[in-house]
Amino acid sequence: NAGVTQTPKFRILKIGQSMTLQCTQDMNHNYMYWYRQDPGMGLKLIYYSVGAGITDKGEVPNGYNVSRSTTEDFPLRLELAAPSQTSVYFCASSPEAAMPQHFGDGTRLSIL
């Protein structure tokens, strides 16, 4: 019963460093999503993918990149970490558009 798995769970970065947040799902879902959650706020969509090889920007894509080479994996990359990217990042997947999304447990990222 793995569902959506995110790694790492926690990370501290220095300003200007880069890193990749990993997300994998074992439900053969076509749609995958990356959100960020800032304190006291709802989730904001960063990027999403409707299938392998296809990605598109969400509401807050600046400073991030994604790729979707397989159905299972949807990594999120931060190239030049900035303090404004301190947040909790959630990956989600769904079988099709408008279907309920299944969430991972999140990656808590601090940039100092």
Q: Does 58 bind another protein (CB under 8 A)?
A: yes
Q: Between residues 58 and 63, which has the closer beta carbon with respect to another protein?
A: 58
Q: Does 65 bind another protein (CB under 8 A)?
A: no
Q: Contact with another protein (CB under 8 A): which of 33, 34, 64, 74? A: 33
Tell me if residue 7 falls in helix, strand or coil. strand
Q: Does 48 bind another protein (CB under 8 A)?
A: yes
Amino acid letter, residue 14: K
The continuous run of DSSP H or E covering 21 comes out as strand 19-25
Residue 75 and residue 82 in contact, taking contact as beta carbons nearer than 8 Å? no
Q: Does 60 bind another protein (CB under 8 A)?
A: no
